[in-house]
């Protein structure tokens, strides 16, 4: 009946599908992902993509990609192309050609004529404000429009003239004739067509009337023989309308609409409208800003498709509130990168170190594996020289209790190299440390000292061999878990001032040939990705911090530009 589940743990939608297949109701399943091409997709859409395409994959069915292009003013080819790129990048492929709601415009018009002919739709002359007034409230029923009982012939004539462009935008609409006293406001004669003169990205100016989403979506599903129409919970109250439209018409099938809870991710936003506001207000650099929860932004930051798919699997599918901490997503990405990212050393806040007893004959460079558990990733040469750079945070003149890094008179292990002792501190006239004078124990290359124990291990770079690189440190975009929850304040007030810190750092020369979107673990600093646009442009290396080595965020305060330190690693 199906292959082993790979996309999610058992959940109620999977159970419904299994029952439908077991009973013979369906021989196979067809799902669909139906975004509107009016913006870039975000992490909430990624959850839906993984659900719809994943279920089709697990049950040996198919999934369609269909654009809901019924709102021409806000849609563009740029958005449509980006959505296709996002779906492919996440590792999925739709069945056949991309589908569009506009593919069905003529059929949708004919079905609307069928509703008029059966007395189930009428042309409305009330204004938008009057329609709202007649609709009633949650506690009061609506009242019938004075135009509700027009004859079928008059309604057909007016609807045809609407299509012909005889009336101004907003002058008339077509409404379904259902029940103005229904407890479900969506059934109080909803508008199903409106006049709108707007250039359409696919049909141009051929149409001046456009169908509404609730009317279009269910018919499009039926025309594509969708078996299970999966949507988020805000459409639950729309399901009776979905079913009503299909019950009135002679359509190929009647898909089952099933709702699940939408994803809310803490410390970010999952509203396309509010994400657009961040872009238009220039709070971020664009839809692909690595701080954005857009798929294109997460990709640029260095999140992996595998990590995002694992996140979607891990958070599950239910009807319960789905508010998830951002560190769950970061943890999934971190786990994926742990196994696949080569490890190199980088220094973000360099402090110069002069090796006073450097001997060219004795100071040997070493081969080091890119990954201790994955020898297939190969190795590189780690150079040693008389001048090296260490991380400024790895030295303290007055260290706190338990300090295991470098201090005056103290020793540390240089990763992959010698044990080093700090002998002197050099300062400028302002009293700022500008250089350390240190000595190495030449007998500790690849082995521990025989007469003492050295606990601390720090990363470093040969000053002569290191390559300059722009290091972009990203953190949470907002300082509060739910930035749009406080209606008394604009969510823009909660933007984290430390969400981006750009620093001039240095990396091993092994990264010189890194292609854009290459991943690395910068040892003890975190996981980084070569920027997909700026890296290697004008011979410039640019790395974005994807995630730290461990979750260093606390809910009590906003992270500063300080570079989190990872755990000390093995001495060799």
Supply the residues annotated as catalytic. 36, 262, 272
Q: Are 470 and 540 in contact (CB under 8 A)?
A: yes
Q: Are 446 and 422 in contact (CB under 8 A)?
A: no
Please report the sign of the dihedral spanned by the C-alpha atoms of residue 191, residue 197, residue 202, residue 203.
positive
Residue indicated by tokens 């973000």: 348
Q: Write out the E strands in 300-362.
A: 322-324, 343-344, 346-347, 350-355
Tokens describing residue 551: 């979750």
Rounded Cα distance, 271 and 283, in Å = 15
Tell me phi and psi for residue 125, to 5 degrees. Answer: -105, -10
Tokens describing residue 502: 């750009």
Q: Write out the E strands in 428-523.
A: 433-441, 457-458, 460-462, 467-474, 500-507, 519-522
- HSE-up (13 A, CA, CB side) for residue 22: 6
Bridge partners (DSSP) of residue 123 are: 174
Q: How far apart are the first and last CA of the chain?
A: 53
Region of residue 383 (left: phi > 0; alpha: psi -120 to 50; beta: else)? beta
Task: Single out the residue of 347, 359, 348, 342 nearest to residue 462, CA to CA.
Answer: 347
Contacts of range 277-285, beta carbons closer than 8 Å, 24 or more positions apart: 277/492, 278/492, 281/492, 283/492, 283/495, 284/477
Task: Single out the residue of 509, 516, 520, 521 nearest to residue 531, CA to CA.
Answer: 516
Tokens describing residue 228: 């299970």
Which residues, at least 6 apart from 237, have a Cβ–Cβ distance to it below 8 Å?
184, 185, 186
Tokens describing residue 383: 């150079």
Rounded Cα distance, 398 and 18, in Å = 65
- Beta-carbon neighbour count of residue 299 at 10 Å? 21
Q: Which helix (H) or strand (E) holds 422?
A: strand 419-427
Q: Are 491 and 525 in contact (CB under 8 A)?
A: no
Rounded Cα distance, 565 and 226, in Å = 51
Helices first, then strands: H and E counts in the chain: 12, 27
Rounded Cα distance, 410 and 420, in Å = 8
Q: Are 353 and 387 in contact (CB under 8 A)?
A: yes
């Amino acid at each position: 009946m199906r292959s082993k589940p790979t996309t999610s743990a058992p959940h109620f939608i999977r159970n419904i599908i299994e029952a439908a297949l077991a009973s013979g109701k369906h021989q196979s399943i067809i799902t669909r992902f139906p975004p509107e091409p009016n913006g870039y997709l975000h992490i909430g859409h990624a959850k839906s993509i993984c659900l719809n395409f994943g279920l089709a994959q697990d049950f040996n069915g198919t999934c369609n990609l269909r654009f809901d292009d019924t709102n021409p003013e806000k849609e563009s080819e740029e958005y449509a192309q980006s959505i296709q790129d996002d779906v492919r990048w996440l590792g999925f492929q739709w069945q056949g050609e991309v589908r569009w709601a506009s593919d069905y415009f003529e059929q949708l018009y004919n079905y609307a004529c069928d509703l008029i002919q059966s007395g189930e739709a009428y042309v409305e002359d009330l204004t938008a404000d009057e329609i709202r007034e007649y609709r009633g409230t949650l506690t009061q029923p609506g009242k019938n429009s004075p135009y509700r009982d027009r004859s079928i012939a008059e309604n057909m004539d007016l609807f045809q003239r609407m299509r012909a462009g005889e009336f101004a935008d907003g002058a008339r609409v077509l409404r379904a004739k259902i029940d103005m006293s229904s407890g479900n406001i969506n059934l109080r004669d909803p508008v199903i067509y409106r006049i709108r003169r707007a250039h359409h990205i696919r049909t141009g100016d051929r149409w001046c009337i456009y169908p509404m989403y609730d009317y279009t979506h269910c018919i499009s599903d039926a025309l594509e023989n969708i078996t299970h129409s999966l949507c988020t919970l805000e459409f639950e109250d729309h399901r009776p309308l979905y079913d009503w439209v299909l019950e009135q018409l002679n359509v190929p099938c009647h898909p089952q609409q099933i709702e699940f809870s939408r994803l809310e991710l803490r410390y970010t936003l999952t509203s396309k409208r509010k994400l657009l506001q961040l872009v238009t207000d220039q709070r971020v650099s664009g839809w692909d800003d690595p701080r954005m929860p857009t798929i294109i932004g997460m990709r640029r930051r260095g999140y992996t498709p595998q990590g995002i798919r694992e996140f979607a699997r891990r958070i599950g599918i239910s009807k319960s509130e789905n508010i998830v901490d951002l560190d769950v997503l970061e943890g999934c990405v971190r786990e994926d990168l742990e196994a696949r990212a080569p490890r190199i050393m980088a220094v973000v806040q360099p402090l110069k170190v002069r090796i006073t007893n450097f001997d060219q004959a004795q100071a040997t460079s070493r081969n080091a594996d890119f990954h201790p558990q994955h020898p297939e990733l190969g190795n590189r040469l780690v150079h040693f020289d008389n001048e090296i750079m260490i991380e400024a945070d790895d030295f303290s003149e007055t260290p706190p209790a338990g300090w295991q890094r470098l201090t005056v008179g103290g020793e540390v292990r240089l990763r992959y190299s010698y044990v080093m002792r700090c002998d002197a501190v050099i300062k400028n006239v302002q009293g700022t440390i500008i250089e350390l004078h240190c000595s190495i124990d030449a007998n500790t290359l690849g082995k521990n000292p025989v007469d003492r124990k050295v606990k601390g291990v720090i990363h470093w770079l040969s000053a002569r061999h290191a390559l300059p690189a722009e290091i972009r440190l990203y953190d949470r975009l907002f300082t509060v878990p739910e930035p749009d929850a406080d209606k008394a304040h604009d969510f823009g007030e909660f933007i984290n001032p430390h969400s981006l810190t750009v620093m001039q750092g240095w990396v091993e020369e092994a990264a010189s040939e890194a292609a854009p979107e290459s991943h690395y673990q910068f040892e003890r600093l975190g996981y980084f990705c070569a920027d997909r646009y700026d890296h290697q442009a004008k011979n410039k290396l640019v790395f974005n911090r994807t995630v730290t080595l461990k979750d260093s965020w606390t809910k009590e305060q906003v992270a500063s530009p300080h570079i989190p330190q990872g755990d000390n690693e093995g001495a060799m």
